[in-house]
Chain A
Amino acid sequence: MLCQECGERQAEVVLTTVINGESTTRHLCRECVKKYKAGDLQSILAAVLSAMAEKKQTPDLTCPRCGETYQEFQKTGMLGCAECYSAFRKELTPLITRVQGRAQHAGRRPPVSEEEQARQSQIETLRFQMEAAVAEENFEEAARLRDALRALTPAKEEKA
């Protein structure tokens, strides 16, 4: 039997990992088993993904932006684009929590540009005005404000 990790060398070791009570058995060569022993997260993820694929736990999902399917991700452990994280979020979050232990970023964040700051404060103002217009039952004005708001908000953000 060939190693399930590299697919090149002969598998000599059977490695069973238990993560959150779910056991995964993999046949590996001596080289690849070292990676697992070293706790290489990428290898651990690969093990979890291939165990899911074997059990036919493959959700039918496709990233709308790059066309990557969940099945492809299960095979390669690689995502196609930033949007895949949104498309597969429900499946990815528990996986990431499993390998990382935590699921909330605590580090550095990108700076917010002046342009973005201006846009955000304009959105807030428009929302406030729109709510006031609705309260005053001035629906014509509210509709105008809603359209102005839409023009400032990308489709994705609006849904959220």
Chain B
Amino acid sequence: MNSIVVSSRVRLARNYEDLPFRGKITPEQCDECVNRTLDALRDLPDAYTYLPMEGMEENEKKALMESHLISPDLLKNEEGAAVLVRGDEKIAVMMNEEDHLRIQAFCPGDNLPEAARNAFAIEDALQSKLSFAFDSQLGYLTACPTNTGTGMRASVMLHLPMLTLFKQMGKVGQLAAKVGLTIRGIYGEGSEAQGNLYQLSNQVTLGRTEEELTQAVAATARQMAEMESVFRQRAWEKDKVGFEDQVYRSFGLLTNARRMTVKEFMVHWSSLRLGAAMEMLPVSWETCDHLLTAAQPAHVLKAAGAALEEKEADAFRTQIVRRAIQGGN
């Protein structure tokens, strides 16, 4: 399963009862939102880092986005926009986004229940001291009325290279829509450049319990993983040499190239992950997943610790990739 489901994420949208929503909030109230959140979460057992967006370097913001710790929406309003991140980056609480709070929890692999538990633990810590806007009919109230109810988005990231290759994604999309879920590509334009990665998530947030929503996403993700496995097997049986050729070519390029754009990287990354998942390569899928973020543009610049020209960054990317593959982390 984890060879196909890359990661799981749960996001909760919450607003404080007494503060206006994004469109009507004053700068002072934005500060109040941050202060009371930090205050209520002060006693959490783990170490958290508070990162305000104001004054933060552009590349740092981009790196947070590449790690999915913040959303592009958070950067639309610099006023009071901030994120509180747990040391292991598995929990992030965005403040002053579209809603006062966006609580996010991440887990590697197929593990929505744990992501949900972690998100609810943060919610509980806040709710023991503060009141969220809640209505007995409409549930948790959000700035946009399409998020009310649970205010929850449960999503999984899936690696579906063979369903993409065999042009099955249209069918897969219909399958998702039938059960009230949505699937979309991530990481830029074009399915190859996206690394054949897709995000499956719930659309509706009202009228279902959190368990029903996470179970619907998890069950459909497993169904898609099953379909992907079938097509992997089929591709292997149909043309074993062709299959191996694609994987080893990408492995060869990733371990030998001296300059690579992120777009090209994503294409080969997909084959690398496929090869790792099928135990054809001396690389674990954990290494692949670590690389997925580490080789994105802002992470490359961050690792270099200096402003690089595009060509220099493309060269440095190959160093990061080689080190990860050879070092096995």
Contacts and interface: CB of A to CB of B under 8 A. Distances in A.
Contacts of B139: 105, 107
Interface in A60-114: 65-68, 72, 76-82, 84-85, 92-93, 95-96, 99-111
B190 to A, nearest CB: 13
Contact of B136 (A79, A93, A105): A105
A117 to B, nearest CB: 14
Contacts of B20: 65-66, 80-81
B144 A107 contact: no
Interface string B138-178: 11110111101110100000000000000000000000010
B238 interface: no
A42 interface: yes
Contacts of B150: 105, 107-108
B120 interface: yes
Contact of B146 (A81, A100, A108): A100
A104 B209 CA distance: 11
A133 interface: no
Given A82-B133, A96-B138, A45 B146 contact: yes
B134 interface: yes
A59 to B, nearest CB: 15
Nearest to A77: B144
A41 interface: yes
A40 B140 CA distance: 20
Nearest to A80: B24
Contacts of A45: 144-146
B23 interface: yes
Interface residues of B, number: 46
Interface string B189-211: 00000000000000111111110
Interface string B28-61: 0000000000000000000000000000000000
B182 interface: yes
Contact of A110 (B120, B131, B137, B207): B131
A107 B141 CA distance: 13
A129 B103 CA distance: 45
A93 B138 CA distance: 9
Contacts of B145: 45, 77, 79, 85, 92, 95-96, 99
Contact of A107 (B22, B152, B177, B180): B152
A42 B98 CA distance: 12
B316 interface: no
A39 interface: yes
A100 B207 contact: yes
A109 B148 CA distance: 12
B114 to A, nearest CB: 17
B296 interface: no
Given A39-B182, A66-B24, A81-B20, A100 B134 contact: no
Nearest to A41: B146
Given A79-B23, A105-B136, 8 more contacts: A44-B146, A77-B144, A79-B145, A100-B146, A102-B204, A103-B207, A105-B137, A110-B132
21 contacts: A40-B182, A42-B144, A42-B146, A77-B144, A77-B145, A78-B21, A80-B21, A81-B24, A82-B15, A85-B145, A92-B145, A99-B145, A101-B180, A103-B138, A103-B206, A105-B148, A105-B150, A105-B206, A110-B127, A110-B132, A111-B127
Interface of B: 15, 17, 19-24, 98, 120, 123, 127-128, 131-141, 143-146, 148-150, 152, 177, 180, 182-184, 203-210, 212
